[in-house]
Structure 1
Amino acid sequence: MSALDEATEAVYRYRRPDPWCWEVVVKAVCDRTHTSWDADHAVLQAGGAVAADADLIAGSLGHGSAYSDELLMLALAGMGDLRALPALQRRADANRLPSSRSHARILAALPAVELLPVVLPVLRQNPVQHYSCTALLELLALWGPASASAVSEVIRFLGTADTYDAMRVLGRIGPPAVATADRLAAYATGRGRGVGGSYPRRAAWAHWKVTGDPALALDVCGAAVRSGTASHGLPFLADLGPLAAVHTTPVRRLMESPGAWTRTYAAHAYWRITGDPEPAVPVLLAEVDPAWDGDPALPVREAVRILGEIGAPAVSGASLLRRILAQEERLSRPWRGVRILADQAYARTLTEALDRIERCRE
């Protein structure tokens, strides 16, 4: 096995590989010497793990193929390094912005105020025809209120195959998107149908976020919980918190659901609605499997995130979370193209949860 192969294998397998491993991988990708698909995609996912090599990465931009430039651009963007912007502008001008959700999550590390001027002209093109729209809407949703200047562009996606994502963006933006209230209400009540369908729960939630009026969201999301489509309404009731007190009983009952995701979301909603963590914490801890390999069918990371939200009352789970965070090996279930990203996100969730639990105890 070559040094590059050994180093690449290590950065995919371990959360804290020997520093030389990242150095070897980055140098090979920048020099384009005997590199590989795995090495390339390790670098674009690396984020802060390759911060020491940021100057080398930035200096190599523009000296290779379009493919290698995209890798290096994403590596810089994942560090929040503004030297990625000229390459992003060139790709935007050529209608070649990254088109996957995972790439959008990397780009979200850049400040919205810097990247929005690059993104907005692309969003103004025909939303049905542009291949990167889903990724760009994901990016706007991750930025949340910082995407407020994009409202008029996002509105154009209502009635397309990206309707659901557009509603998510509008809800995340909040009051600056109030001009969309009537259209969101139409989707929430089944009157606004486009290529993407009505998506009533997401629309009702977004209507509340842009108007501040919870009535429609309480009605539509509460009806979903009572009807048996619980997992589609519970996260929105959790967001509503005490405003959803009328739905406490069915939410409490769903904490005993046979579905792991439903139990997790019900525990979250119950705690957010009532402020009582006692019934919720055991349900959430039961979902935190220390042997979890990243299987998306299990809500492990979400359960950890919610325990962090709960804070000090979840202290009984702190030792388990520390043990998981200390593990050497990364999650193994995600395919290599996103494995490092997925593991970094999980480690970040564990770290933030532990910080909140400990901080709230002080």
Structure 2
Amino acid sequence: MTILSDLIIERIKNKGNITFAEFMQMALYYPEYGYYNSNAVSIGKSGDFYTSPAVHRMFGELIAVQLEEMWRILGRASFTVVEMGANAGWLCYDIMRYIKNEYPWFYKKVQYFIVESNPHLREKQQELFCGNPVFDEKLSWHSYGEDGFSFDAVQGCFLSNEFIDALPVHRLLVKEGEVKEIYVGYNGNDFYEIVGDVCNHALKDYCINAEMPLRESRVLEINLAARDYLNHVAQKLNCGFVLTIDYGDTAQRRYRDNTTGGTLRCYYRHNVNHDYYERLGEQDITASVDFSFLMDVGKGAGLEVTGLVKQSHYLIALGVLEKLNNIRNNLETVLKVKNLFLPEGMGEVFKALIQHRNVKNPCLSSLKPLSSLKPGT
């Protein structure tokens, strides 16, 4: 048993059985011991998983292209980028360096907020940026919790890459035609799952409103933490965009097949497993994002849907093929970057959702039909 295991067991003894969402919250975010707040989280070849910024800096450069376009749409005024969970900091590093070199007028107007809960990662990020004039007076760190964000309202873009998938989910089970909830208990030796009534009417209501096929024994994952996050975003975004890049799909596509086990899984040293109650604090627990849910709750909070596309579409529309053409003789780099948009890589599984607030009919290049793009545009 680890310290984190003991803490979760103590919670169960004091409260009784807890929802899987509460268990997942503790396993990932408990101060010092939860996976994302410990020194265990590791990304890249030697870590537990890869993210797009870890593949190549071109990903961040293309996000910079998108942000500059958003800045122009908003009238070229002051613009704040709020990045959720910056991991090692490379996405911010690549974005800001590209803006500095390619868009000097935009650079004068931009500020970059990193929202990071992990003190160990925040320290690594600060080491990465320390002494680099690109980030002087442009970069600051902030927090996010149950009460929302630690900064005042902004104009700009809330940016997240593989943030929503790591938020805790409620696990529901269809049993004899009824939607039930999966709870976590402890029997003195092991954690175990037990089915009970749904803890929050919003969970059952969403299943009904989304017209999900309630196939017997199907497990459904509902991310109420994402709802809370978007509500807080809407409160802090005076005018601008929300860019969410993650793996997942619409509700209809997520539940269209005959599988019933859900999408929840763990990552430990690049291996996938379903041992949710093992290696607590040492492995990632994640679920595919329900983009229909994000769009629905966003609308309720005042965030209009700008568009939803596959990552392959998103990067191609922003010019990844033109960038690759300029370095076509560098085969190693070409192969790395192709993993970001090819179907067998991240291109089909990952999606880009853009929402906007107080922006009238925005037209973004990244959402245009690929057939409408001409070489060099």
Higher relative contact order (CA 8 A, sep 6+): 2
- Give the TM-score normalised by structure 1: 0.24
- Give the TM-score normalised by structure 2: 0.23
Radius of gyration: which is bigger? 1
